[in-house]
Amino acid sequence: MHAAVVVFPGSNCDRDLAVAFQAVGAKVTMVWHKDSTLPGDVDIVGIPGGFSFGDYLRCGAIAANSPICRSVADHAERGGYVLGVCNGFQVLTETGLLPGVLLRNAQLKYICQTVGLKVETSQSVFTEGYNAGDVIDIPIAHHDGNYFADEATIAQLQDEDRIAFSYMDNPNGARADIAGILSENRRVLGMMPHPERAADAAHGGTDGQALFRALAGALVTA
Amino acid sequence: MKATVHIMLKNGVLDPQGEAVRHALGALGFEGVNGVRQGKIIELDLDEGATEADVTAMCEKLLANTVIESYSVEVG
């Protein structure tokens, strides 16, 4: 598996994400936001957490219009895999690769804590290492993680089994307790919680490991 | 030439910041504030000859997220 991790000014989880990919045997290339092309043999693009461009205008909005994001969109449209975590999820909604938007947390507070997530579907390369219904502990760290989409979009996500993870105890006001969603072809995942921060015993939790292991397993044989 | 873009959250989209401002006004003793919605104003300094359509394109592409926000453009 060859993973590219995009680095924006203000990204701060890029190296954590790279380490999580490397830990499951992936080759990782860091890609700068001003690069206009991805390495040719990339299987998956990781959009990391952080505060790209200082969250100016709207979270992820300026990053979504950077040169590399055109290539990320092309990669996704060709059927490539993309994982966006936290700010990466915000970037993916701003590019239109995923529906909806992440609003300010309903309580207006930045929340940094480990939360219980319910795995809603195992029908994706990201979640096939879990069973639907599993509850896993993954950290969140965000100010703008309150998922919003209109009711028709929420219903569509539910009907198409595209909600990947939901909160057991909704911390931020997200509609339908949504913590992470899949694209229509199930190859793009955006999620607010940080699986790369629960991928090593030294992190204090390893519930995120199964996501990276499943990816490595699926994309090696792809 | 100047253009001004007003951006507001659409009706039906929760505005927790506006709600916080409303509560703060109430705490200060300002009564009868039934709602507060917070938006933004963006002023653009443009080459002569730019059109409203140009600014609208900027709004659609970057300045507003039309999933949650509505915008209006004033040119001149």
Predicted complex ipTM: 0.85
> pLDDT (tens digit, 0 to 9) for every residue of chain A, 222 residues total?
999 999 999 999 999 999 999 999 999 999 999 999 999 999 999 999 999 999 999 999 999 999 999 999 999 999 999 999 999 999 999 999 999 999 999 999 999 999 999 999 999 999 999 999 999 999 999 999 999 999 999 999 999 999 999 999 999 999 999 999 999 999 999 999 999 999 999 999 999 999 999 999 999 755
Interface with B, mutate which of A53, A65, A97, A148 (most B CBs under 10 A): A148
Of A58, A62, A148, the CB nearest to B13: A148
Is the pLDDT at B38 greater than 60, yes or no?
yes
Candidate list A33, A142, A194, A203, residue with the active-site label: A194
**Contact (CB<8Å) A58/B16:** no
Three-state SS at A171: coil
**CATH number among 3.30.1330.40, 3.30.1280.10, 3.50.50.60, 3.20.190.10, domain B2-75:** 3.30.1280.10
Percent of all residues in chain B with a pLDDT value above 90, rounded to a whole number: 89
The torsion region of residue A65 among left (phi > 0), alpha (psi -120 to 50) and beta comes to alpha
Candidate list A69, A86, A142, A203, residue with the active-site label: A86
Residues of chain A in contact with residue B65, where contact means CB-CB under 8 angstroms, are 58, 61, 94, 101
Q: Please indicate whether residue A203 is annotated as part of the active site.
A: no
Residues of chain A in contact with residue B14, where contact means CB-CB under 8 angstroms, are 103, 106, 146, 148, 173
Architecture of domain A2-221: 3-Layer(aba) Sandwich (3.40)
Confidence (pLDDT) at A36: 94
The count of other CB atoms within 10 Å of the CB of residue A70 is: 14
The helices-and-strands tally (H runs, E runs) of chain B is 2, 3
Task: Spell out the domain ranges in chain B.
Answer: 2-75
Confidence (pLDDT) at A221: 55
